[in-house]
Structure 1
Amino acid sequence: MRQTRWRRAAVGAAAVGLLMVPVGAGVGYAVDAPAPPSASSSAGSTDSEDFPQLTPAVARQLDEAVRKVRDEAKVPGVQVALSAPGKGAYVRAFGVADKATGRPMTDHLFMRIGSETKTFTVTALLELVDEGKVGLDDPIGTYVPGVPNGDRITLRELAGMRSGLFNYSADEDFFKALTSDPQREFTPQELLGYSFKHPVLFAPNAQFNYCNTNLILLGLVVEKVSGQRLADFITKEVVGPAGLKHTLFPVGAEFPKPHAQGYTNQTASGKTEDSAGWNPSWGWAAGAMISDLTDLRKWAKVVATGELLTPATQAERLKVSPALPGTGYGLGIFKVNGWIGHNGSLPGYQSLTLYDPRTQATLVVLLNTDISAEGQEPSTLFGEAITKIVTPEHVYTLPAQPAAGKS
């Protein structure tokens, strides 16, 4: 059970795999229904009247809801930012950043963001699409040799989690390698090796299956086409133009200060450990990045509205296919009851960054544990509790994911 639970977290729980959520679903939640209409149809409309003024009374409601989730899920510390134009802002930090010292959680700490990295990697790819250097319907075999079905799987299918490739972070040998030496540095080629020794799960585009392998391949495409390291390209062409000042793609285990310590039970012993110093290279293009609350509040709108892309390319990004029940997944982004964004999860940390085009509201949640609460990702519980108060007809919720290897 410990290995199964960790592999689910490691996917980045995009709860459509989130991430590992946000942050994974092991080998899979598979959905083979046809794609619904584009999620972009509401992107230009707003209805700020649906979003309440963030008055002291509403803030007290939110305080109570966040504290309740934190207590029940046993989360050490959490940061929350919620805002909408003309409605004010709610920015809070609860609990501790370091259980050993009692150092309080604040709203300006660096945090590991897990699978929210996918939104940056796919944005980098889509910028290359806008420059005419790659095509979404190019086969991955054009850029990376040796990929199973590489002559048939397209870049679009990789970004949309419909490749059929095995998720390397669900592999038993990978789990053993990481937990036996959390400071180990993995190369992209090593990660692909854990995936490619398994048979493909289904034909390209036949189903949805959240898979970190897809993003490793897209990261290699960005490197090959741009001639730059992925970390350098994302820093120069995505992070910088988005105006983000505290977001970085680490090349090793570095973690700027001040940061929160992270707590996970996805360890070789099964005991809870502090994972702040673990090397996130195993997540690379799928989950290695670091950011903070202020930057993610900006990024929520940038990625959901396509500020760095042409309107045509953003429209392609927001064409969603069915993922988990009630959830659509586009190109490195999901839509849940009107909220657009991504979550993230890797050992010790979870995150959630959302934007609501109807109200132009943003919601960011950052916490320093990935330990589930009765089978639910804590980030999902916070998102659900908060949106029940401010957008009760559009509640963010993601169903519990199946165990790895189940469908």
Structure 2
Amino acid sequence: MPHTSARLRRGAVAAAAVGMLALPAAGWTTTGPPPASPSSASPSSASPSRDDVRDLTPAVRRQLDAAVRGVMREANVPGVTVGLWTPDKGRYVRSFGVADRATGRPMSSDLYMRIGSETKTFTVTALLELVDQGKAGLDDTIDQYVDGVPNGDRITLRQLAGMRSGLFNYSEDDDFFKALTSDPRRPFTPRQLLDYAFRHPVLFPPGAKFDYSNTNLILLGLVVERLSGLSLADYVHRNVLGPAGLDHTLFPAGDEFPAPHAQGYTNQTATGRVEDSADWNPSWGWAAGAMISDLDDLRVWARTVATGQLPDGRTLISPATQKQRLTTPPTTVPGAGYGLGIFDVQGWIGHNGSLPGYESLTVYLPSARATLVVLLNTDIDHRGTEPSTLFGEAITKIVSPDHVFDLPAEPAAR
């Protein structure tokens, strides 16, 4: 991967319209306790209150083990945790490799991880809650809430959430890239991020096409603050994370990173050499990519954001608003669509994330009520493809061959 700002432009991938075909039963036979784990992988389970299904068969587990190890070797991934669940067919929760190359500390499923653009699903959920409360409308224009936005009297909140605003992506700006990589521990304010974006002309008229831009989410974060009277972090903690019971998910104020966490490895550096990015400040991602979570919380969130329902049956947003969120018009990826802060890849609904040193994938397949979460501690591409995509594709080829999480080597989103 070239060591330029191009890598930082990514934060998610857009994907395909909702599919409702049945998952092949052959991949999901239940069984008793798994066999002894190989030394290079550690078996893990989520908390009993959230994990009441049995393990996949030893044969399927061996296939998945081999697939995950194959991607690790191919893409030189230090460590990865994979969680795969379906309520009536089985589960697979495994960690491979190391969380810290310096000490050899093994990867494990209880680690906090930076989740990058999965933050967008939380920010947009916050906005949709406020829409349900009548405090804003999705077709309101952004100039009603934030001053100085190019085309602000024409760009709607819906277009911002759906990546169809035409605004330049601040993380593509060369000066931003130099500022971040020269001092990756420096804080950025939302207004500073917008300044990088607004120095560029708009790319196209609002609504004309899809173009993934982190600028859109910075603006929506400011809208949430304006409507709620709270900081974005406080609103998300009180009104999204709290009701969902996500006790290990947080919106950091700065570079804080709870223990235990994995170290992260990136070549998005001033020199292009690989560095440990665990203590870098994620404020440059803010509403678009600053959050932290763990496997167990993301398992719950995958179903919540895809279906609109919490584990206890309550909802964070109304069914009508959830329906709008899941309306996924086509994107520049063939057969792909992106809704309001959420994608759908061959029926797998959710989002991925990439921040220097970390990648994640959290998706849900409604037709099988299946959840897949992948967490890894590098963002270094392999032949132009993000390693989280490689894991998603390898795993779903085994368990859902009719719903393979496949994306082109050059994703539409950045």
1:320 to 319, 328, 345: 328
Residue type at the aligned position of 2:353 = G
Contact 2:71 2:390 in 1 (8 A): yes
Deviation of 1:82 (Å): 0.2
Structure 1 CA distance for aligned equivalents of residues 412 and 245 of structure 2: 39
Deviation of 1:52 (Å): 1.6
Q: Deviations over 1:205-247 (max 9, x none)?
A: 0010000000000000000000000000000100111111100
Runs (4+) off by over 4 Å: 45-51, 402-405
Aligned position for 1:364: 373
5+ residue gaps, structure 2, are 30-55, 310-315
Aligned position for 2:216: 214
Structure 1 CA distance for aligned equivalents of residues 330 and 375 of structure 2: 26
Aligned position for 1:90: 92
Structure 2 CA distance for aligned equivalents of residues 326 and 50 of structure 1: 27
**So what's the TM-score if we normalise by structure 1?**
0.90
Aligned position for 1:155: 157
Residue type at the aligned position of 2:89 = K
Q: How does 1:42-61 map to 2 (within 5 A)?
A: 42=20, 49=25, 52-53=28-29, 54-61=56-63
Q: Deviations over 1:73-95 (max 9, x none)?
A: 00000000001011121000000
Residue type at the aligned position of 1:11 = R
Residue type at the aligned position of 1:321 = P
Residue type at the aligned position of 1:400 = A
Q: How does 1:7-406 map to 2 (within 5 A)?
A: 7-12=6-11, 14-16=12-14, 39=18, 42=20, 49=25, 52-53=28-29, 54-307=56-309, 308-323=316-331, 324-401=333-410
Structure 2 CA distance for aligned equivalents of residues 269 and 47 of structure 1: 46
**So what's the TM-score if we normalise by structure 2?**
0.89
Supply the RMSD in Å over aligned alpha carbons. Answer: 1.8
Structure 1 CA distance for aligned equivalents of residues 357 and 260 of structure 2: 16
Contact 2:385 2:409 in 1 (8 A): yes
Structure 2 CA distance for aligned equivalents of residues 227 and 79 of structure 1: 37
The percentage of counterpart residues that share the same residue type is 70
Aligned position for 1:2: 2
Aligned position for 2:39: none
Structure 2 CA distance for aligned equivalents of residues 180 and 404 of structure 1: 25
5+ residue gaps, structure 1, are 19-35
Structure 2 CA distance for aligned equivalents of residues 370 and 47 of structure 1: 30
Structure 2 CA distance for aligned equivalents of residues 388 and 287 of structure 1: 28
Structure 2 CA distance for aligned equivalents of residues 121 and 404 of structure 1: 18
Distance 1:215 1:404, change over 3 A: closer
Structure 1 CA distance for aligned equivalents of residues 119 and 113 of structure 2: 12
SS of the equivalent of 1:344 reads strand
Residue type at the aligned position of 2:183 = D
Contact 2:168 2:213 in 1 (8 A): yes
| Number of positions where the alignment pairs a residue of Structure 1 with one of Structure 2 | 381
Q: Deviations over 1:358-403 (max 9, x none)?
A: 0000000000000001111000000000000000011001112269
